[in-house]
Amino acid sequence: MSANPARTRLLDYLERREYLRTPAVRAGMEAVDRAAFVPQPQRYAAWDDTPLSIGRGQTISAPHMVAMMLEELQPRPGQRLLEVGAGCGYHAAVAAAMIAPNGEVHTVERIPQLAQRARANLAGIANATVHHGDGSCGLPELAPFDRILVTCGAPRLPGPLREQLAVRGRMVVPVGGRTLQALLVIERDGDEWREERRPGVAFVPLIGKHGYED
Ligand code: SAH
């Protein structure tokens, strides 16, 4: 990793604010250049703690939200992780760094142009695969997943994602209204699903069979 003062400054700030709490998540965010994932006009702000537009009306989450979700999820080396909402592929790249070298990230994006861009952005990352389709249905053929990361807001917990979570798996998913949600942290223990909620998060809507209508 080449030293990047703007990145170090941001990660130090996220640590002070306790969004970043573990060395594993910090190392994941240190391994990926956010500037390389966002469109050129946004690059100057890549290391500010702010969401950025990635085109087609979609946004990449602010770094504190990326850190917070990964702290809740705690992906570990060797795990299989499903992401719903690939966007530009940045969050998937950080997760891929955390589960490398033997883990696999499968990320699903419904907008074809974004799926294509995420695929290009993730081309150098061997353990990340981009799928084009409706991620609210999960990826039944590749299930179960140890970790599920949903980066768009659902009206309710999509049933297929609940079923595709491995025993002792963990999922983070924003659930609520079209513009404001609570972040659900779900842990599966056998046939029990335990749930905690962190209110007050804002994601673009999950649109699909088990989400909002287009
Ligand atoms: N994790 C992304 C940010 C995602 S923004 C990143 O790091 O860049 C949320 C994304 O979810 C948008 O690109 C949106 O098109 C996508 N999305 C919405 N509904 C979806 C669905 N049903 N399946 C897959 N992707 C969906």
Q: What pLDDT is stored for residue 2 in this prediction?
A: 58
Structural Rg of the chain based on CA atoms: 16
Dist. CA 123 → ligand 1 center (Å): 18
Tell me if residue 61 is catalytic. Answer: yes
Q: Where are the domains of the chain?
A: 5-201
| Strand arrangement of the beta sheet that strand 181-189 belongs to | 128-132, 104-109, 80-84, 145-150, 165-176, 181-189, 192-201
DSSP code for 92:
H
> Computed from CA positions of residues 59, 64, 67, 70, in that sequence, does the dihedral angle turn out positive or negative?
negative
pTM for this one?
Answer: 0.97
Residue nearest to atom 14 of ligand 1 (CA): 85
Residue nearest to atom 4 of ligand 1 (CA): 87
- In tens, the pLDDT along 20-54 reads 999 999 999 999 999 999 999 999 999 999 999 99
CB of 128 shorter than 6 A to ligand 1: no
175/162 Cα distance (integer angstroms): 13
CB of 32 shorter than 6 A to ligand 1: no
Total count of residues recorded for the chain: 214
40/186 Cα distance (integer angstroms): 36
Q: What pLDDT is stored for residue 183 in this prediction?
A: 98
Dist. CA 110 → ligand 1 center (Å): 7
CB of 138 shorter than 6 A to ligand 1: no
Q: Which CATH class name applies to 5-201?
A: alpha beta
197/33 Cα distance (integer angstroms): 30
The b-or-e profile of 121-137 (16+ CB within 10 A means b, else e) is: bbeebebbbbbbebbbb
CB of 181 shorter than 6 A to ligand 1: no
Query: Which of ligand 1's atoms lies nearest the C-alpha of 88?
Result: 8
- In tens, the pLDDT along 74-122 reads 999 999 999 999 999 999 999 999 999 999 999 999 999 999 999 999 9
CB of 106 shorter than 6 A to ligand 1: no
Catalytic residue among 2, 53, 61, 136: 61
